[in-house]
Structure 1
Amino acid sequence: MKESFLGIYRKSMHERKICMFKEVVGVGKCPCCGFEVATPSKEWKYNAFLVKRFECPRCEKWFREYYYKGKLSFILIATEKGPRKVEGQ
């Protein structure tokens, strides 16, 4: 059975919304082990940045993602010497 144009349009809109949701909400990907963390543990504004703090359940380290104008700018990860900057992914 063929899908109608409206059905295809709704499906593609739904897929776009999911992609937009992932970009805006931000599914955090741990820079240490690559595990995807679904929700940030904390979120705040820092000057022009939107900061999202994630805690990885696999390696038990935290990392922060800094967004500028809706795009991931850079990531800070926890190390023994303090936070270390990682380029945006």
Structure 2
Amino acid sequence: MTYEEFLDEITTLLTELYDMADEAAIKLVMEAQAADYFVTHDDQAELRTVEQAKKEAAALYDAKQNKQRTQQKQQQRVHQQRVQKKR
């Protein structure tokens, strides 16, 4: 498949497998692309398969979830520090 088809497949998988909204899936793929995440896929056609798209969709989704959990933990720490200072 072409590079563009590969990215479209990842976007579709994110919406189907992880129940992401179309806009959120597109944004996630575009951000990864802007960060050069898919450079090797562009250079190596053998990496642009449906099976690889499933792996990449899972990796992007997991990274997004990890980022959200980290942000939540950081917000909790800040909140706890504020509460402790008020005591």
TM over 0.5: no
TM-score computed with the length of structure 1 as normaliser: 0.30
Which gives a bigger RCO, structure 1 or 2 (Cα 8 Å, sep 6+)?
2
* Higher helix proportion: 2
TM-score computed with the length of structure 2 as normaliser: 0.30
